[in-house]
Amino acid sequence: MGPAARAAGPLVMKIAGARGFSLVELLFVAAIGATLVAAAIPQMAAGLDDQRTLIAARYVAARFQRARMEAVMRSSIVAVQFTQTARG
């Protein structure tokens, strides 16, 4: 330990012995994380499409089931009509 380190006291020793990550290491880890997130986005979008399709199929099936029950209760023909909303 040199004279400058002795004069500064334990603060210099603490900084000199500090451990951590370099900027290059942090940027490398951030790049890997960004790549993994970018790779996962299309799979998440496909999962959302599948989920929307499943919800729509359940909706249609429930409407047909309700119409069938109404037809049995009334002993007559019941129609199911779907209309397009503003959202499409």
Encoding tokens for residue 61? 């099936």
> Quick one: average pLDDT of 56-65?
96
Q: What is the pLDDT of residue 85?
A: 83
Report yes or no on 66 lying in a domain: yes
Range of the domain at 34: 3-74
pTM above 0.85, yes or no: no
Total domain count for the chain?
1
Encoding tokens for residue 74? 């009334």
Contact yes or no for 15/4 (Cβ under 8 A) = no
Q: Which helix (H) or strand (E) holds 26?
A: helix 23-74
Per-residue pLDDT tens digits for 16-60: 666 788 999 999 999 999 999 999 998 888 888 899 999 999 999
Report yes or no on 82 lying in a domain: no
Report yes or no on 9 lying in a domain: yes
Q: What is the largest CA-CA distance in the chain?
A: 104
Euclidean distance between CA atoms 52 and 71, whole angstroms: 29
The residue behind tokens 């996962």 is 40
